[in-house]
Structure 1
Amino acid sequence: MSAQTAGPETLGHLSDEPPPVDPTSKKAKAITGKSPMRIALGRLRKDKIAMVCAAVTLFFILIAVFAGPICAIFGVSTETVLPSQYLNALGGGLPLPEYGPPNGPFTMDHPFGIAPNSATDNLAYWIYGARTSLEISATATFFAAIFGIVLGLVAGFLGGVVDKVVSFLTDLFLTIPFLLAALVIAPIINQRFASSDNYPRIQFWALIVVLAGFGWMGVARLIRGEVLSLREREFVLAARVLGMPTSRILIKELLPNLAAPIVISISLMLPAFVAAEAGLAYLGIGVTSGISWGQTINLATKFFETYPLYLWEPMIGIVALVLALNLLGDAVRDALDPKTRR
């Protein structure tokens, strides 16, 4: 007798796209009549990691916004005190045991301890360092996103000479090392405005210009690529036939369809700027006339062995904020991707 013929083998899907959803299933009915943004928000709410990261991000935002009242609640401030009253002159400038670590227990007067040599409160500097980091990174992200979106829209839609010029500028800025440019610009600003009364704000905005000036290229290239695929779609062609102005086509027709890549770009750009701001402050070319996590790390490296907590406090803040923003950005990208398996 011949062997029984085996059943047909299942080859499965050759592409990464998920199988079509049955329109009568519960999953299909759950998203019926919902906009893509509402569907994405529903996915985010079901993602536990995204919710935890959103809570951590909200925590840092509240700290940055209400830095003054929070410091008042704990009774701490960034004012410089007389170091000789709090520090051990014979112990390398470390705090006296009654004022907290590393030689004493934590106290409610200084929950994070006090800084060596200067005796400033670590909690107050940590809170205002979070404000500086978020303020600079959020502002730089806003300007970089606006600049990149405008250039990407114009280059992708108009094409021709405009597209070539924008593409050349994008490639030109991508060839300039960011750190090298910052090292060149910072001494010029220090020499030009060091004697100005508004030097801290000048330094603040100069850093934003540097971050935004070298952060818009990725957004511009992404938006340009999306517009190149959208400008040949039926709704854009119909708008052209109706004689709709170019500005209206860009704002009313194309821009709403670019919400997903814009949100993804912003969510991934923000943590990069947070890390960049801290790194530049650590190198002494960022915020040097104000309060910054990177500046605190720069001062704390000298006390790594004798007072490690002084170094770990700002580092934990940077790692927690950047990690939360990165994971939240990944979750947003997955939620906005219709091909994501859930």
Structure 2
Amino acid sequence: MTAPLDVSGPHLPGDEGAGPSAGAGVAIQGRSLSQIAWARLKRDRVAMAGLAIVVFLILVAVFAPLIVNLFGHPPLQHYRNMVDPTTQVPKGAFGGISTDFLFGVEPQNGRDIFSRVVYGARISLLIAFLATLLSVVIGTVLGVVAGFAGGWVDTIISRAMDVFLAFPILVFAIALAGVVPDEALGLSGDTLRVSLLVFIIGFFNWPYIARIIRGQTLSLREREFVDAARSLGARRPYIIFRELLPNLMAPILIYATLLIPTNILFEAALSFLGVGVRPPTPTWGGMLADAVRYYTVPHFAIFPGLAIFLTVLAFNLFGDGLRDALDPRAR
């Protein structure tokens, strides 16, 4: 932390009678770049609102069992007494919504929608965060190497990016998720499906961030501080990890926050198509797929759809605000 500066200056004649504050030193506290960025971010009310929603969703996902125990029912338990046996729709005018079932119950089986939406947040956020982490790690490493090394290394990595960008990810995800057996690589059940989705979404999305990091690295490697490090005899690993990566943290963080909602939508799309996490494990996309058959019961689709909408919107608002805070010249 920067030491405070005393800018009081010398005492002038006649200062003695000017009061106790006259001549007192005024300490100016230096601020780091992260503190300056945080101060800018706090002034953006829209971004802070997005951040508050993101934190709330993360807490809901982490403490899902406690929340369900307090306000809901087990997500896999059936309450068929809440469903009309003739029409297979929830009893009551509002789809079974009450103080006992906050979001009502599902048609036919009578499962608690509130509990399934809460548990669905765990699956969606877990897959989105892990897939984003995988994309960021692979994209950052290959982007820095391509931009800093140049030459044939840059050519090979850049052509690999073009191949992955032209690859039909959705078609491949549907095909791969459909042929993977129930047990593979020592994994089974939901663990296998989550790992598979993380691999598909994360591994095939790395070129997007790699192109951004490569472009930033091409610009940074010509800067004076890199030339100074070379002149002092610094090796390539030192320059990459100590000089380049700290200056790349801003675009990495910005793109990661904008990539998370994209991954949430991709996971929801796969679950909607029936190749994501398999039922009866609750997922937002899977709940929307089940709700298609019951278009006369709107609350069945409204709550998981609203959860996806708010999550994606919150991450996008926070990502935009973070970009403005870290790079105000790009506004």
TM class by shorter chain equals: 0.7 to 0.9
Distance 1:156 1:72 in 2: 51
> What's 1:210 paired with?
200
Shift of 1:244: 1.8
Task: Please name the residue that 2:191 is paired with.
Answer: 201
CA distances 1:223-256 after superposition (whole Å, capped 9, x unpaired) = 1111111112121122222222211211111000
Superposition TM-score, scaled by structure 1 size: 0.84
CA distance in 1, matches of 2:229, 2:257: 31
Deviation, 1:32, is: 8.2
Post-superposition offset of 1:36? 2.5
The CA distance in 2 between the partners of 1:182 and 1:75, in whole Å, is 34
CA contact (8 A) 2:182 2:189 kept: no
Q: For residues 151-189 of structure 1, give each alpha carbon's deviation from its aligned partner in whole angstroms, at most 9, with x where no partner exists.
A: 011111111111111101111000102211112211221
1:169 aligned onto 2:165: no
Aligned equivalent of 1:15: none
Q: How far apart are the structure 2 equivalents of 1:203 and 1:57?
A: 25
Q: Which of 240, 261, 273 matches 1:250? A: 240
CA distance in structure 1 between the aligned counterparts of 2:327 and 2:29, rounded to whole angstroms: 17
Q: Does the 8 Å contact 2:258/2:319 carry over to 1?
A: yes
Task: Report the residue type matching 1:178 in the other structure.
Answer: I
**Aligned residue identity for 1:87:** V
The correspondence for 1:285, drawn from 275, 287, 304, is 275
Match of 1:101 among 81, 89, 94: 94
Whichever residue aligns with residue 188 of structure 1, its letter is: V
Once residues 61 and 197 of structure 1 are traced to their aligned partners in structure 2, the CA distance between those partners, rounded to angstroms, is 26
Q: Given the superposition, is the C-alpha separation of residues 209 and 47 from structure 1 closer, same or farther in structure 2, using an over 3 Å criterion?
A: same
Whether 1:229 aligns to 2:225 is no
User: Residue in 1 aligned with 2:110?
Assistant: 119
In the alignment, does 2:296 pair up with 1:299?
no
Q: Which residue of 2 aligns with 1:17?
A: none
Q: What is the RMSD of the two structures over their aligned residues, measured on CA atoms?
A: 1.9
**Partner of residue 8, structure 2:** none
Q: Aligned to 1:310, which of 276, 300, 304? A: 300
Aligned to 1:79: 76
Amino acid at match of 2:136: A
Distance in 2 of aligned mates of 1:284 and 1:75: 26
Distance in 2, matches of 1:338 and 1:272, equals: 24
Alignment equivalent of 2:123, drawn from 129, 132, 147 = 132
Q: How many residues align?
A: 302
Task: Tell me by how many angstroms 1:82 deviates.
Answer: 5.5
Given residue 142 of structure 2, which amino acid in structure 1 is its aligned partner?
L
Deviations 1:293-339 (A, max 9, x none): 000000011112x2101110000000011011111111111111232
**Could you give the per-residue CA deviations for residues 172-225 of structure 1, whole angstroms, max 9, x where no partner exists?**
000102211112211221x4639x872221111000001001211111111111
Measured in 2, the distance between the counterparts of 1:241 and 1:44 equals 37
Distance 1:291 1:137 in 2: 16
With over 3 angstroms needed to count, the CA separation of the structure-2 counterparts of 1:218 and 1:32, relative to structure 1, is farther
The structure 1 residue matched to 2:85, chosen from 77, 86, 89, is 89
Q: Could you tell me which amino acid in structure 2 is paired with residue 200 of structure 1?
A: D
CA distance in 2: counterparts of 1:182 and 1:230, whole angstroms? 36
Shift of 1:111: 1.0
- Structure 1: 5+ residue stretches without partners: 1-30
Q: Is the 8 A contact 2:73 2:115 kept in 1?
A: yes
User: Which structure 1 residue ranges, 4+ long, deviate > 6 Å from structure 2?
Assistant: none
Change (3 A) 1:165 1:137: same
For residue 62 of structure 1, what is the aligned residue in structure 2?
59
Deviation at 1:81, TM superposition (A): 2.4
1:34 is matched with: 31
Q: Using a 3 Å threshold, how does the CA distance of structure 1 residues 50 and 197 change in structure 2: closer, same or farther?
A: closer
SS at match of 1:123: helix
Matched residue SS, 2:86: helix
Q: Which amino acid aligns with 1:303?
A: Y
